[in-house]
């Protein structure tokens, strides 16, 4: 690095030296470390594909690869979380190479269809739960009717809700610290 005084000046000023240092070292990027960061990127468990792909593209810019599209394509296939999709892409590219755009398009459509399938299954599960809740509500409503209580109240043994023991209605129940009249 050769720093010379500006035209018309005989000495170097500190500001000029600092400016030259900033120009020289400010643009320097460690390609080895940038490549390391790029190669270590993997899709996080709940990360959307687009977010993962954006992180990959930003990291690849600092690597100064000769063929950045090929590196992005290979790293995209290697770094995705969807293992069945990864296997399918590897199988399909062994016959005919795919471009980066084709890989990205397939990853996006696979994620979209998986999200849609989850939404459909969640709606089905919600309907099933609602049906079970309605059935339970009807069953409890029948037990609370006076006719039902009068038929089962006389000389029938049941599990007490307070002490969790079995006994018939109208009996005294003594336990260690539980004294109660069952009505």
Contacts of 52 (CB under 8 A, 6+ apart): 41, 43, 44, 79, 80
Q: What is the mean pLDDT of the chain?
A: 78
Q: What average pLDDT does this structure show over 38-45?
A: 94
Strands 166-168, 172-174: pairing kind: unpaired
pLDDT at 29 over 70: yes
* Gap between the terminal Cα atoms of the chain: 100
pTM for this predicted structure: 0.54
Burial zone of 53 (CB within 10 Å; 0-12 exposed, 13-18 middle, 19+ buried): buried
What is the pLDDT, as a whole number, of residue 10?
74
> Is it the case that residue 94 has pLDDT exceeding 90?
no
Q: Cβ(29)–Cβ(62) under 8 Å?
A: yes
Task: Say yes or no to pLDDT of 140 above 60.
Answer: no
Helix (H/G/I), strand (E/B), else coil: 93: helix
Q: What's residue 14's pLDDT?
A: 80
């Amino acid at each position: 690095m050769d720093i010379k005084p500006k035209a018309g000046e005989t000495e170097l000023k500190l500001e000029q030296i600092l400016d030259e240092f900033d120009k020289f070292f400010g643009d320097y990027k460690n390609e080895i470390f940038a490549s390391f960061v790029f190669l270590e990127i993997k899709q996080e468990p709940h990360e959307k594909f687009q977010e993962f792909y954006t992180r990959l593209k930003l990291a690849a810019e600092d690597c100064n690869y000769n063929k950045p599209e090929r590196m992005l394509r290979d790293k995209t296939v290697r770094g995705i979380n969807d293992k069945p999709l990864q296997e399918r892409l590897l199988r399909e590219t062994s016959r005919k190479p795919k471009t980066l755009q084709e890989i990205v398009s397939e990853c996006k459509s696979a994620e979209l269809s998986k999200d849609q399938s989850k939404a459909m299954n969640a709606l089905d599960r919600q309907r099933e739960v609602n049906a079970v809740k309605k059935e339970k509500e009807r069953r409890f409503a029948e037990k609370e009717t006076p006719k039902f209580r009068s038929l089962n109240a006389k000389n029938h043994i049941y599990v007490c809700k307070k002490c969790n023991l079995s006994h018939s209605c109208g009996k005294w129940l003594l336990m260690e610290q539980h004294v109660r009249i069952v009505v």
